[in-house]
Amino acid sequence: MKVLVFGKIGQVARALIASGPDHDVEIIPLGREVADLNDPQACADHIARSDADAVINAAAWTAVDAAETEEDAALIVNATAPGAMARACAAKKIPFVHISTDYVFDGSDGPAWLPDDPTQPLSAYGRTKLEGEQQVMAAGGVAVILRTAWVFDGEGKNFVTTMLRLAETRDTLSVVADQTGGPTPAAAIADACLTVARRLVAGTGKAGIYHFTGAPDVTWAGFARAIFASAGQDVTVQDITTAEYPTPAKRPANSRLNCASLEADYSIARPDWQAALDRMITERATS
């Protein structure tokens, strides 16, 4: 199977490139220098010219706070471009897998969010990602939207690498303890995307919106403690509230996503983020 991937240097895109051989998949990555999402039509043209069996969009505007003042620019990358990709895939009758986010919800207190729960994003970033979902679903092709959250790996700019970097010079850190979610290894997202793509190509997969995050759910402060424990670093984590750590964009307090439908339809279970974190820490120490 041949899969065209938008993205090359992001966490999930790198994981897709690395995971392709394990899934017997030829990955054709398109970086920004080749396919800039600021030019949606050019992205669609790449799909039209490709002989790929499926397309995965692993590229996005991920600067959450910057989107508050640059929403129009974020909208092109997070909505207009994925919509153009989805329509190009529909025209070629090939599946499209698109990665979205927990930020489409308002994060209000309650159970883990189901895929069909009402959306009400709190931020410009969330609004642009929701518009992207709507354009993908309106394209009329075979598409799966995979919402995820709290993505991490050992190389990119993410919470894990930030905590490890800060621990080099700090012995105490204040971390938000009233936001809860499921940390998700980028490699697990890549595996899920490829599994879904293969099933869709074979005609045995279901289209729609699914959730996929790591287990168990934890607060950012709890996640930080797990990171330092895994790395053997003596860092004290002090719990603070979201109000004590203000940011331009509002973050959802409840980022827990109900992933049951993905397991039911695709036999993809939530990954153990602690085990993935331990492996990542070990790899960093031995590299």
CB 189 within 8 A of CB 146: yes
Indicate the pTM of the whole model: 0.96
Report how far residue 241's alpha carbon sits from residue 227's, in angstroms, rounded to the nearest whole number. 20
Tell me, what's the pLDDT at 287?
A: 73
Give the pLDDT of residue 40. 97
pLDDT in tens, 241-281: 999 999 999 999 999 999 999 999 999 999 999 999 999 99
Query: What CATH class has 2-156+183-216+256-273?
Result: alpha beta
3-state secondary structure labels for all residues of 185-241: EHHHHHHHHHHHHHHHHHCCCCCEEEECCCECCEEHHHHHHHHHHHHCCCCEEEEEC
Residue in 103, 125, 210, 266 annotated catalytic? 125
Is there a contact between 139 and 285 (Cβ–Cβ < 8 Å)? Answer: no
Q: What's the confidence (pLDDT) of residue 44?
A: 97
> Residues for the chain: how many in total?
287
DSSP state of 165: H
Per-residue pLDDT, 199:
98
**125 is annotated as an active-site residue:** yes
Q: What does the alpha-carbon distance between residue 280 and residue 269 come to, in Å, rounded to a whole number?
A: 20
Regions in the chain scoring below 70 on pLDDT: none
Q: What residues pair up with 96 in beta bridges, in sequence order?
A: 55, 143
